[in-house]
Amino acid sequence: MLSQKCIWMECGYVEYKLCDRDFDCENCPFDKAIKVEREKHTISNEFKMNKNVNQIKITPNHIWLIRDKNIFTIGLDDFAQKFFDANCSIHFPMVGSNLFIGKTFLWIIGSFGAIGFHSPINGVVNWINEKVKNNPHSFFESDAYLIELLKVESDELDSTENFYDFDDNKKLVYQDNLLVKEFLLKKYSSISTANITLTDGGEVIKDYLRKLSNQDYIKLLKLLFNKKL
């Protein structure tokens, strides 16, 4: 029997996926994963409606910022969120502490170890999200763009001009998807590029990511989230 295209591939929502369940979508984990992603996208549309997306900047390290005069609100985008789970914790800077461009200001800690995110701006922390600090799963199980992690006071108002605009973030995600594929292909010679993509519901690529040693996983995270600004 010839393999048939998944209905999500037929409609153009994913690049490549063959159905191996005789179109039993109701009991298909891939179908459920896609629907979860679509629900999160709907929430992102709510985010767009409630905030001026023209003000949003995203760094090459997947940190988003919104500037209101000299106050920057900072969070992590949904691409970064995919690499962690609700068992991870987030270590915040202290209110009143100084941030410096390129220096670590936020840590995510999990079974793999710890990865630090580098500050995109110079400034002083004047607020952190205590709810997320005390209950990190509230971030990992929510839409990333709806969760404000901290606010920073900074006089360097033009420091984000070279970052990605919100609507251009797809370019960054595409580039980093390729980076992940290349990393996995070097580790697993038995797989092909057609089988690993972050936009197909996540099941296949998560299987390969889970097989990485903690050391290799940290290496991948640093490639994605510790680029020089």
Ramachandran angles phi, psi of 144, nearest 5°: -60, -35
What fold characterizes domain 29-229? Answer: OB fold (Dihydrolipoamide Acetyltransferase, E2P) (2.40.50)
Q: How far is CA 109 from CA 87, 119, 150, 218, in A?
A: 9, 17, 18, 11
Instruction: Report the pLDDT value the prediction gives residue 209, as an integer from 0 to 100.
Output: 80
How does DSSP classify residue 101?
Answer: T
How does 124-139 read in b/e, with b if 16+ C-beta sit within 10 Å? ebeebbeebbeebeeb
Q: How far is CA 108 from CA 49, 164, 216, in A?
A: 29, 23, 16
**pTM tops 0.75, yes or no:** no
Residue-wise pLDDT for 44-56, tens only, equals 555 555 455 567 8
- pLDDT at 42 > cutoff 50: no
Instruction: Report the pLDDT value the prediction gives residue 52, as an integer from 0 to 100.
Output: 58
